[in-house]
Amino acid sequence: MRRLQRAQAGVSLIELMVALTIGSLLIVGTITVYSNSRSTFAVNEAIARLQEQGRFAMTVLEPDIELAGYYGFTNAADTLLLVRGSNPGTVLATAASLRQRPLPPLAPEPRRPPGVADSVHACGTNFALDVLTPVEGSNDGFELGPASTADCEAFGAGAVAGADTLTLRRASTTTSAPAAGRVQLLAARLRSRTAQMMFADGNAPMAPDLDHQIHDLVVRTYYLSRDSDDRADLPSLRMKALAASGGTPRFVDTELLIGVEDLQVQFGIDTGDYDNDGAVDPGADADDDGTPETDGRATRYVNPDFPGLDRSQVVAVRLWLRLRSERAEPGFVDARTYRYADVEYTPAGAEQGFRRLLLSRTITLRNARTL
């Protein structure tokens, strides 16, 4: 019996303590691995989300930039006429007179053509109708056309300070039926037969056929707001676009992507200096009018407020997007200095707790005209 009792005795205190210690170490190790895995997953998820947002933003912007200056059958808008009525309609203005900032010898101040709703000019006189300027922007501020009204202000608490804007003008890629409340183009395949026409009263100058197509005029301005639709103090990429609203053409503001805290734009222009010696190459300005007859190569990248940009041929757009995560990440510190375009930015204070992603892309305009 004594031998049986000794065989059935439990573990000793020392053995129990050793077992508890080993078990505790295994549990602590398991919890540590789980915690680290969860943290790594959260970091990877945040980075992946930033990358996904960046890809989406570029997917929206790139094709729109490539198509800037597309007007149906042509990329030349200098023959375009604004008309009212049909067969063939009364001419109200030429493309040159629809510039926001007319060039000499035209009047120094833009003039609103008759027969077009005031809402079309909400972002500036002739801002929507300036088809001779397919690409433009503002540098370090939300500045659109001259005499912009309150109906075209930035969303929420205003635009992000120091961010640029980008405006694109073109025809829609699909044809449309004549419709009131839209600004539309009648594109002619053969310029010798019929001039390109624009109308805003729903009356097409002529019926569409194989040589004539009707397209909506697309005017879009991309900018950054300090607020998003659902959350204040969260910057967002937004778009003001000319659209039919309530039977009238007007600019409608739409949120595209949250978390974009900076947008910078530069334009690639063809200066005619192809050997990079600082002077227009011989023969590049054949008519000696100060504007080289360009061949479509970007020889210099300039900011949107570059003097004389309205006389230059824009052939490419270079843009930068700086995105940040929606929420600060505990334990993460972003002390990196971001240098791009004309910006040098180093996060400070609470801003260091957000992850960021800087994207850059240079996009060639498919419809850039060679003068």
Q: State the average pLDDT for the chain.
A: 86
Give residue 349's pLDDT.
92
pLDDT in tens, 78-109: 888 999 887 777 889 999 899 988 776 666 77
pLDDT category of residue 28 using cuts at 50, 70 and 90:
confident
d(CA 185, CA 175): 10
Residue 82 three-state SS: strand
pLDDT at 33: 75
Rounded (5°) CA angle 97-302-236: 85
Torsion of CA 154, 224, 69, 243, to 10 degrees: -40
Pairing of strands 313-324, 260-270: antiparallel
Indicate the burial class of 283 (C-beta count within 10 angstroms; 0-12, 13-18, 19 or more): exposed
More confident residue, 137 or 209: 137
Only one residue has tokens 């060679």, namely 370
Please tell me the predicted confidence (pLDDT) of residue 307: 86
**Lowest pLDDT segment from 161-175, 190-204, 229-243, 341-355:** 190-204
pLDDT of 34 > 60? The answer is yes
Question: pLDDT tens across 47-66, in order?
Answer: 888 899 999 999 999 999 99
Closest CA to 98 of 110, 114, 116, 109: 110
Query: Above 60 in pLDDT, residue 243?
Result: yes
The least confident of 104-108, 241-245, 273-277, 358-362 is 104-108
Closest listed residue to residue 311, CA positions, set 334, 326, 328, 294? 294
Query: Distance (Å, rounded) from C-alpha 207 to C-alpha 86?
Result: 9
Compute φ and ψ for 350, nearest 5 degrees.
-65, -20
